[in-house]
Structure 1
Amino acid sequence: MQVAEVRGAGPRTSPLAHCWRSRPHWGGGLEGAPRGGSSPRPSSPPQRLRRRRPQRQPQQPRRPPPPRAGSATDSGARGRGRFGRRLRPRAARLLLLLGAAVRRPGRGPKAQNAKRPVASSTAEGAVDKRMALLAADTRISDMLGQLHQLIKQTQEERSRSEHNLVNIQKTHERMQTEQKITPYYRTKLKGLYTTARADAEAECNILRKTLDKIAEIKTQIDERRIAARNAGSYDSEPPRKTMRRGVLMTILQQSALTLPLWIGKPGEKPPPLCGAISAAGDYVAKARDKVAARVKGLDGDEQWILAEVVTYNHAANKYEVDDIDEEGKERHSLSRRRVIPLPQWKANPETDPESLFQKDQLVLALYPQTTCFYRALIHAPPHRPQEDYSVLFEDTSYADGYSPPLTVAQRYVVACRETKKK
């Protein structure tokens, strides 16, 4: 109540005043300070406070501190245990040695120093992975800039050659009007066609470089995804995200549409994995490549599914593949004969028709809106680069044993290794 009265009325008091009232026996060391808790509150804070210096006393020789109860130096408790029980000298020595030797793991300085290199190495590894991701992003950005420059060069080359093509068209119109071919027109057309051919070759070279740059960017993006997966907080791989069926089908269609078209030089043959051309005997699919894999189902029957390559074990000659369908979420270990790589280029029917499957040829084709391959016959090959195959799937529900013609992209049509019809 006294403190409340002091704080509630009168002028504002100094903090020292409150300190004095909270410690009534402190006044002996300060001049002007009240000596008791019942002293009246000063009207104003003190102007100057001086602490009395204590008189120096002769130093006494330091005495050793008294021994603690239960310690080894306590004569009265020598040989006593932790709970005061008297122990023999030999047992006491063994207990001291045992207590000095046994330590809790991870509590001492040695354990802490041992942990520091592990933490530092882990942090350094995380920093290195982040730096690798930043370097990959920089390379992809540089490649995109180079691709932009190539596209601009293609447009400039096309605009420059357009004037020559207009001159060729006008020259032909004049010849039709005059209805005669003079030596002047022959010489002029020869020069115009020579220039047009050179312009077309230059534009074709730029387009090839552009396609190569696009393929390089795709490869770099895949490597970046792998690096991002390794830089995560998972021990092996992150959990696969669930994808809806419609989204998966859209992605598969986009993959088929964006498959690059093979454009070779005059006289150059298409490479393996172009259209119907199979891969070489020693070819090994890379990680994240799409393949047709023959696996066993839950009912024991074997089927060909669309899968993605994870790794290849050269010692065992086996692939580790993941089912592309998120509903399966299964990983299979398969031999090479059970894996068929998918085409990496589309064959041009106008320039390389021999690189396509021909009519009535037995193939494995991806059934529309599914992720399974089934046996089918080629009903009609594509006639233009943008067209797809027309195939007849084996189906016993129809009288002739085949379904009506369905369209399947070149990306999802491979050679059938089974010659006998089931």
Structure 2
Amino acid sequence: MALVSADSRIAELLGELHQLIKQTQEERSRSEHNLVNIQKTHERMQTENKISPYYRTKLRGLYTTAKADAEAECNILRKALDKIAEIKSLLEERRIAAKIAGIYSEAEPPRKTMRRGVLMTLLQQSAMTLPLWIGKPGEKPPPLCGAVPAAGDYVAKPGDKVAARVKALEGDEQWILAEVVSYSHAANKYEVDDIDEEGKERHTLSRRRIIPLPQWKTNPESDPEALFQREQLVLALYPQTTCFYRALIHAPPQR
């Protein structure tokens, strides 16, 4: 029943998202006329080579309207982003519920049959579709946005991806990519699954052995302070593996 309920809610949210996208297009079309007027007014001023009180007053009104139009469009887009985030959350909840129930769709086969190449592709897609944080003017990026760490009392949710420090077969310790199964507040420990162990390797680890991974990408243009900086020491996934190794940032992204 939970899966059916999630499907119904997702369908409802997709309908709402569609309406918001239509509203965005309508708002953009409505504001286009005002932007054209601004451009034409500037062209007339250049032709006359002067800024008269009339043009000054007219431009002030046009820019005030343009600012209000942009804010209205921005609000609609933020609502759309919220809908997308809710849809992604429900899809993740449905995936976890299906995993627990032992039900897998054709699009998402059981992890025990997943080839390494398929796993690597899925991880790349997951990284590419990580949502971009878009804050309001003056709003700082939240925890788990880019390089911003989680709050000290943060508890990762089931299904969240984390870096987990585990003991290897040789007795050495290594950082691996893992998925949270559960967290015990009484024991202060996580249960996590190794992403690359076909769902068979489960670890029980203390909080200090877990690093929650970012949930948002950072916009380098608006929030450069939330990026890892040049020469900063980080944990990075080694290419074509699910193991983290110490690395130095050569250069942060520019866009």
Q: How would you bin the TM-score normalised by the shorter chain?
A: over 0.9
| 3-state secondary structure, aligned to 1:308 | strand
TM-score, normalised to structure 2, is 0.92
Amino acid in structure 1 at the alignment position of 2:20: L
Within the alignment, does 1:216 sit opposite 2:86 as a pair? yes
Q: What does residue 142 of structure 1 align with?
A: 12
Q: What does residue 61 of structure 2 align with?
A: 191
Cα distance, 1:317 vs structure 2: 0.8
| 3-state secondary structure, aligned to 2:151 | coil
Q: What does residue 106 of structure 2 align with?
A: none
Contact residue 289 and residue 309 of structure 1 kept, 8 A: yes
Amino acid in structure 2 at the alignment position of 1:147: L
Alignment gaps of 5+ in structure 1:
1-130, 385-422
Q: What does residue 125 of structure 1 align with?
A: none
Q: What does residue 227 of structure 1 align with?
A: 97
Cα distance, 1:241 vs structure 2: 3.1
C-alpha offsets along residues 139-193 of structure 1, whole Å, 9 cap, x if unaligned?
Answer: 1110111111111111111111122112111221222222211112111111111
Aligned-residue identity in percent: 85
Q: What does residue 259 of structure 1 align with?
A: 130
Amino acid in structure 2 at the alignment position of 1:169: Q
Q: What does residue 365 of structure 1 align with?
A: 236
Q: What does residue 168 of structure 2 align with?
A: 297
Point out the more displaced range, 169-178 or 294-303: 169-178
C-alpha offsets along residues 61-113 of structure 1, whole Å, 9 cap, x if unaligned?
Answer: xxxxxxxxxxxxxxxxxxxxxxxxxxxxxxxxxxxxxxxxxxxxxxxxxxxxx
Within the alignment, does 1:132 sit opposite 2:132 as a pair? no
Q: Provide the rounded CA distance (Å) in 2 between the counterparts of 1:369 and 1:229.
A: 25
C-alpha offsets along residues 308-354 of structure 1, whole Å, 9 cap, x if unaligned?
Answer: 11111111111111111145731111111011001111111111111
Q: What does residue 112 of structure 2 align with?
A: 241
1:248-327 map, 5 Å: 248-326=119-197
Amino acid in structure 2 at the alignment position of 1:372: C
Q: Provide the rounded CA distance (Å) in 2 between the counterparts of 1:291 and 1:280.
A: 15
Q: Provide the rounded CA distance (Å) in 1 between the counterparts of 2:221 and 2:67.
A: 19
Which has more radius of gyration?
A: 1
Q: What does residue 205 of structure 1 align with?
A: 75
Q: What does residue 380 of structure 1 align with?
A: 251
Q: Provide the rounded CA distance (Å) in 1 between the counterparts of 2:194 and 2:136.
A: 37
Cα distance, 1:227 vs structure 2: 3.0
Shift in alpha-carbon separation, 1:144–1:299, aligned structure 2, 3 A: same
Contact residue 242 and residue 326 of structure 1 kept, 8 A: no
Q: Provide the rounded CA distance (Å) in 1 between the counterparts of 2:99 and 2:249.
A: 40
| 3-state secondary structure, aligned to 1:379 | coil
Corresponding pairs, count: 250
| 3-state secondary structure, aligned to 1:382 | coil
Contact residue 188 and residue 206 of structure 2 kept, 8 A: yes
Structure that is richer in helix per residue: 2
Contact residue 292 and residue 305 of structure 1 kept, 8 A: yes
C-alpha offsets along residues 260-308 of structure 1, whole Å, 9 cap, x if unaligned?
Answer: 1111111211111111110011100000000011111111111111111
Shift in alpha-carbon separation, 1:229–1:376, aligned structure 2, 3 A: closer
Q: What does residue 25 of structure 2 align with?
A: 155
| 3-state secondary structure, aligned to 1:332 | strand
Q: Provide the rounded CA distance (Å) in 1 between the counterparts of 2:199 and 2:52.
A: 73
CA RMSD of aligned residues (A): 1.8
Alignment gaps of 5+ in structure 2:
104-108
Cα distance, 1:207 vs structure 2: 1.1
Q: Which has the higher contact order (CA 8 A, sep 6+)?
A: 2
Amino acid in structure 1 at the alignment position of 2:43: E
Q: Provide the rounded CA distance (Å) in 2 between the counterparts of 1:319 and 1:353.
A: 32
